[in-house]
Structures are given as C-alpha cells and as structure tokens.
Amino acid sequence: MTNLYLIGNWKQHGSRAAIQAFSEQWSFDPNPQLRIAIAPPFLYLQALREALPDCHVAAQDCSVHAQGAHTGEVSADMLVDLGCQYVIVGHSERRQYHGETDALIAEKLAAAQSAGVTPILCVGEQQAAREAGKQDEVVRAQLRSALATSQPNLLIAYEPVWAIGTGLTATPAQANDMHDMIRQEVSSLLGSSHATPILYGGSVNAENADALFACPHVDGALVGGASLEAASFMAIAQSASNNLSH
C-alpha cells in the first residue's frame, strides 16, 4: 500500500465557531502516506486552512468557467489561488438536485485539471440500479463520459447513492469488487501506467472504516456526516493510519 486518502465532505455545514471547535479538538500525528483534506463550504476554505495547517483543504465544486459574468460561481483558478489541493466534482447531490449532467461534469473535471487542482470525481449507482444488478453498467457509463477528455491526475470516489447519509454502507466485498471494476475501466480509458486512487464513500464511520481500508482496492474514503466532528474524523484517520502500517 503506498498512500491512503481521507477527504471530509462537510456539505452545507459549518461555521466559524464549528471550525474553531474542530481545530481545538483535532490532534493527529501526521502520517506522510495518509493525505487528509476537508471540504467545507467555499466561504470557509480560508478559515479552515488557517485553523488546520496539517490538513489540506478541498472544495465541493467548481465552475467550468475560468472567469467572467457568472454570478455565484467559483473558478478552479480561484481554488488554486487559495491553496486548495482538491475539488469534488460530480457528487451525486449535485447530479441529483442541481441538474449536473455527465457532460457538465466532464467540463468541470477538465477545468480543475487545467487549473492545477486535483479533482475527486464521484460516481455511483442509485438503489434501483443496484437492485437490478446494473451497478457496473451505470458506473462504467459515468466513467466513460467523464474521462473521455480527462488527464490522468485525478482521484475517483465510488459513492453508491443508496449509502450516502443513510447509515447503509456497501459491504467491503461490494466496495472492493466495484473498485476493481473501476480500476480496470480507468486503466483502459487513461492508460495503465497511471495508478488512480479510488476512494469509497457512503456512511463511512469509525466503526466500519477498518474493514473498508483493509480492502485491497480501497485507497481511502470520502466521508460526509462523520467528518463533521473532530473525534469521529480522527478515529477514521487513525484507522487509515493503522492500516498503512500493516
């Protein structure tokens, strides 16, 4: 195992007081093989960066445009300007509730890569697709569309939609099998010389993290709810760190 990635997605949560409290409780021995980042809402990126200098910061989205008359948008260049290392692209909540299409997601991926911020591309099937046994087909189509014009510098997060915020988690075997499929698909799309890290997301917590990190094809986690409290996020980080030392 070379590296693990742990990304906290705060979604539309957080405040200056919450960042202060999180940073007071955060105490974790940095492990050079474990990359930790937190994605707060845009307007807290700077405060979080200052409060948690040991962690990277990530954004939850970016614009396809570099600049211009696009009210409310934040460009990938602005994220780089702020020292942001990663940007989440194509989260299922953006696909489902903000009308993001595969084509738009491919454009966002390209915008992030050309600005120099590493995109974390989210893919994952809905419950009905899993029940119909169509999960591989859905995820393969998402990858083909997003990666058609992509460079190799990205992370991928497999987030089954039925596991996000529901307390249901893919079993380690389901996650591992899907990651194996994603790895093969990505290497046929982008070339096998690039080892694209594949993270799992969907109700990851301190209790299930060990079993997920132990899967050979799981290179980290994208964590929503359990990243909001320093104690639970630290416990997940500890579990990743322990796994690296095995």
Of the residues 138, 201, 209, 236, which one makes contact with ligand PGA according to CB under 6 A: 201
Distance of alpha carbon 145 from alpha carbon 22, whole angstroms: 38
Catalytic residue among 100, 125, 159, 185: 159
> For this structure, is 73 an active site residue?
no
DSSP per residue over 180-245, as a string? Answer: HHHHHHHHHHH-TTS---EEEESS--TTTHHHHHTSTT--EEEESGGGSSHHHHHHHHHHHHHHHT
Binding region for ligand PGA (CB under 6 A) out of 27-35, 196-204, 212-220, 229-237: 196-204
Nearer to ligand PGA, 30 or 165 (CB): 165
Site string for ligand PGA, 84-113 (x = CB under 6 A): ------------------------------
Distance of alpha carbon 200 from alpha carbon 219, whole angstroms: 8
Distance of alpha carbon 111 from alpha carbon 185, whole angstroms: 22
Catalytic residue among 91, 93, 179, 185: 91
Of the residues 202, 209, 213, 233, which one makes contact with ligand PGA according to CB under 6 A: 202
Q: Among 194, 204, 240, which Cα is nearest to 225's?
A: 204
Of the residues 154, 222, 236, 237, which one makes contact with ligand PGA according to CB under 6 A: 222
* Binding-site ranges for ligand PGA (CB under 6 A): 9, 159, 164-165, 201-204, 222-226
Q: Which residues are catalytic?
A: 91, 159
